[in-house]
Structure 1
Amino acid sequence: MKDVLMIAHFIRGTIEGRFEYLANKLANEGYAVELVTTEFSHELKRKRKKEEKQLKEFQFYLNMLPEPGYKKNISVNRFYSHYVMGQSLKKYLKNRKKPDIIYCGVPSLDVAKVAAEYARIHNIKFIIDVQDLWPEAFKMVFQVPIISDLIFYPMKRKADYIYSTADEIIAVSKTYANRAIKVNNKCKVAHDVFLGIELTHFDKLAELNKFLKKPKGEIWIAYIGTLGHSYDLTCVIDALKILKDKGYKNIKFVVMGDGPLKSKFEGYAIEKGIYSEFTGRLNYSNMVGLLTACDIAVNPIKAGSAGSIINKVGDYSAAGLPVLNTQESKEYRQLIEEYNIGLNCKNNNADDFADNLLKMCEDDNLRIIMGQNSRRLAEEKFDRNKTYQEILTKISGERGERK
């Protein structure tokens, strides 16, 4: 029986999570699977409770290591917390039986570097799964020419080392895959596999949690995810204000999620007199039910973001929603045009956003066609039952030690 060690600093803690899903699949196929993560929840900013650590529905062994935690995503405390988690992993690996394969999420870099060094020293097959680009994501916040490059140079070196040691590269987008393989001389190709969702599970949740209280004649605009510095909800609110001033009062902004700027965004919507609802964090089942009741989805990402094919866009497609997008990612903008699932808007331009939103609101047929295309995209590119087979093959189809 092959021993697969999966290491992921950031997990959801539910079967909807990428690493949990993969670990469960492998365990059900007869592999000995351990998923090592942290006891600290990045989403909730607290230590996981006892019942959260048990997760009885999983067929694999879930191991949570000590980490002090932090309150803010951008802070010295966060970097220190990641360092401690890396040391916790190093200590654990010293006493663990050598696995056949290590499958490691990147970032965090502290944890992934420990895993990379351990795999190199012990000649273990090392597969990375690039979830985000660091330090590129942090540079978006500290956009100071030359100084930013100097500050984040050590982080870039760490990332380059991790990418270069990998025997196989998986990434959540082609953009991320290309970044990793640039510094890797061992892999002929890097594999991009979107985060995705399990469509049969999504559809079941949509049916069980169907939202039945939507007033007739209203058009609901959906946003799901973190309410943080990378997301330009103020532009969406400004666009809705433009349409409201033109007499469109049947458009509701439904915001599902939480984050450091929730009160700011909610207060701004109230100030502008926007018809909106901020639900806070919902469990996945309730989110799916409400999302599928909406008419249009928005993906308002600020300029300079290192993000590419992010988690929320898979849910938007699964729900069959047309998308209004401000994200600058060429990969996602091309996907929108190729599948005709929505409209790309100018970044940080409320007038342009309002014009495109009005096109969708006034043309039911346009929304229907783009919504159908969006669902087709989900079936072809986001359904884990199909797309994750490529990852499972890389894990199970290769022998443990390097050639």
Structure 2
Amino acid sequence: MKDVLIVTNYCQFPGESGNNRYTYLADMLAAEGFEVEIVTSTFNHKTKSQRPFTGDDVKNVSYKTTLINEPGYPENVSFKRLYSHRIIALNIMNYVERRKLPDLIYCPFPPITIGKKMAEFAKRNRIPFVIDIQDLWPEAFRMVFNPPFLSNILYRPFERAANKIFGQVDAIVGVSRTYVDRAYSVNRKNVGRSSVFLGTDLNHFDSLVEKAELLSDEKSGIKVAYIGTLGSSYDINLITDAIALLKREGRTDIHFVVMGEGPKREAFAQYAQRSGISYEFTGMLPYEAMVKRLSQCDIAVNPIRKGAAQSIINKVGDYAAAGLPVVNTQENEEYRTYVDDLRIGFNCIPGESKDVAVKMEILCSDPDLRKEMGANNRKFAETNFDRRHTYPEIVRVIENLLPETVEAESRVL
């Protein structure tokens, strides 16, 4: 039985908020006959708190769980986060140096520090090494902190480190073609590469929608939904401005539903209050509650600021699963092409509230168009976001690096 080691400090276990890629993948690999261990952090990135349990407390799963101590950090973009990543990278190395050598290492990226340590360990021990790119560092940091003249000097060491990791891997997986291409551009080994969206299990998603009941305090009219982080990359105020503009023009039936948490939540909520629109900020909801609420909305928004590095992110997969048309300001060409070519919504100019308002008004005024574009987005989910059909590609990437993977009688055919 081949031993696959998944090393990541971002993970959500059963009972925690989230829809994690790696626990799902671990279950799928275990079902295929692999021995799987997830090595992750004592610190929960989503809640910014230490987990109240150990790896031994994670029961009724098909994989082994090991939690490694990480100090933690209060904000996503901070020196404390970089320090925390440095400490957990060292602690992970102390652990993997003591355990038996795995047959393959699967390592999500970022953070750079863990990727660097694991790439070096894999090369030293001649272990196949697969990177799974969730975000681009340092590109994502430039969006938040990009001082003139100093930026290139500040981020060059991070870029060199990322390039070195990408150059050492034996296969590249990423949550978008954009990310995979970025890594492959500096890899000279002609390695295998696969773009597999984060996605969700549509059977599970649909079962949650079926159980959803209309909330007693549910607002009437058009409900515009946002889910995800409330931070610097997301222009929530832009959507507020667009809804306020439409309200001044006589459309008073739009209710803005913001589901998520982040450092700018209070500022965004205060801005919405001053604007006079109908709105609510629910905070971070359990995945099940979020799905139920999202399914009762009419339009979804993806208001990413100009210059952001994100590509095919979690929220657009959930919007697709819910069958909602999308009003999108994200510049990423990969996602904008899907929006246009598949007719799943409208692309807008980042930062232009008038353009957002125009596209939103078209959808508000035409229920048939909302239905058509929402149906197109649902088809997009069925072909590109359903983990049951997309994640086997990741399993194939791993199997290709381990040609004698598992005994034939243990495989699930």
Q: What TM-score range do you get, normalising by the shorter chain?
A: over 0.9
Residue 13 of structure 1 corresponds to: 13
Residue 4 of structure 2 corresponds to: 4
Residue 247 of structure 2 corresponds to: 244
TM-score (norm: length of structure 1):
0.96
Contact 1:299 1:327 in 2 (8 A): yes
Contact 1:309 1:332 in 2 (8 A): yes
Alignment of structure 1 residues 300-315 onto 2, 5 Å? 300-315=303-318
2:58 counterpart letter in structure 1: L
Stretch deviating more after TM superposition (361-370 or 45-54): 45-54
Aligned-pair distance for 1:309? 0.4
Residue 219 of structure 1 corresponds to: 222
Q: Are residue 42 (structure 1) and residue 45 (structure 2) matched?
A: yes
| Cα gap change, 1:58 to 1:211, in 2 (>3 Å) | farther
Contact 1:169 1:187 in 2 (8 A): no
Contact 2:138 2:159 in 1 (8 A): yes
Alpha-carbon distance between aligned partners in 2 of 1:371 and 1:51, rounded to the nearest angstrom: 42
Aligned-pair distance for 1:11? 1.6
Q: Are residue 110 (structure 1) and residue 108 (structure 2) matched?
A: no
Q: Are residue 152 (structure 1) and residue 163 (structure 2) matched?
A: no
Contact 1:124 1:400 in 2 (8 A): no
Alignment of structure 1 residues 3-402 onto 2, 5 Å? 3-14=3-14, 16-50=19-53, 54-213=57-216, 217-399=220-402
Describe the SS at the equivalent of 2:61. Answer: coil
Structure 2: unaligned runs, 5 residues or longer? 405-413
| Cα gap change, 1:215 to 1:255, in 2 (>3 Å) | closer
Alpha-carbon distance between aligned partners in 1 of 2:400 and 2:310, rounded to the nearest angstrom: 30
Describe the SS at the equivalent of 1:13. Answer: coil
Q: Deviations over 1:111-139 (max 9, x none)?
A: 11111011000000101101100000001
Alpha-carbon distance between aligned partners in 2 of 1:32 and 1:189, rounded to the nearest angstrom: 23
Alpha-carbon distance between aligned partners in 1 of 2:206 and 2:38, rounded to the nearest angstrom: 27
Stretch deviating more after TM superposition (226-235 or 46-55): 46-55
Describe the SS at the equivalent of 2:65. Answer: strand
Contact 1:181 1:189 in 2 (8 A): no
Stretch deviating more after TM superposition (179-188 or 277-286): 179-188
Number of corresponding residues: 401
Describe the SS at the equivalent of 1:133. Answer: coil
2:385 counterpart letter in structure 1: F
Q: Deviations over 1:217-269 (max 9, x none)?
A: 51100000010110000000000100111121111000001110111011111
Aligned-pair distance for 1:187? 2.7
Aligned-pair distance for 1:212? 4.6
Residue 408 of structure 2 corresponds to: none
2:272 counterpart letter in structure 1: A
1:86 counterpart letter in structure 2: A
Describe the SS at the equivalent of 1:50. Answer: coil
Contact 2:192 2:397 in 1 (8 A): no
Stretch deviating more after TM superposition (26-35 or 348-357): 26-35
Alpha-carbon distance between aligned partners in 2 of 1:182 and 1:340, rounded to the nearest angstrom: 30
Runs of 4+ displaced beyond 6 Å: none
2:2 counterpart letter in structure 1: K
Contact 1:198 1:385 in 2 (8 A): yes
| Cα gap change, 1:352 to 1:213, in 2 (>3 Å) | same
Contact 2:325 2:370 in 1 (8 A): yes
Alpha-carbon distance between aligned partners in 2 of 1:233 and 1:400, rounded to the nearest angstrom: 48
Q: Deviations over 1:318-349 (max 9, x none)?
A: 00000000000000000111110000011101
1:300 counterpart letter in structure 2: P
| Cα gap change, 1:216 to 1:155, in 2 (>3 Å) | closer
Describe the SS at the equivalent of 1:190. Answer: strand
Contact 1:128 1:166 in 2 (8 A): yes
Q: Deviations over 1:167-216 (max 9, x none)?
A: 00001001100100011111344211111111001101111234354758
Describe the SS at the equivalent of 1:248. Answer: coil
1:231 counterpart letter in structure 2: Y
| Cα gap change, 1:164 to 1:51, in 2 (>3 Å) | closer
Q: Deviations over 1:363-386 (max 9, x none)?
A: 011101000000000000111111
| Cα gap change, 1:52 to 1:372, in 2 (>3 Å) | farther
Alpha-carbon distance between aligned partners in 2 of 1:57 and 1:397, rounded to the nearest angstrom: 29
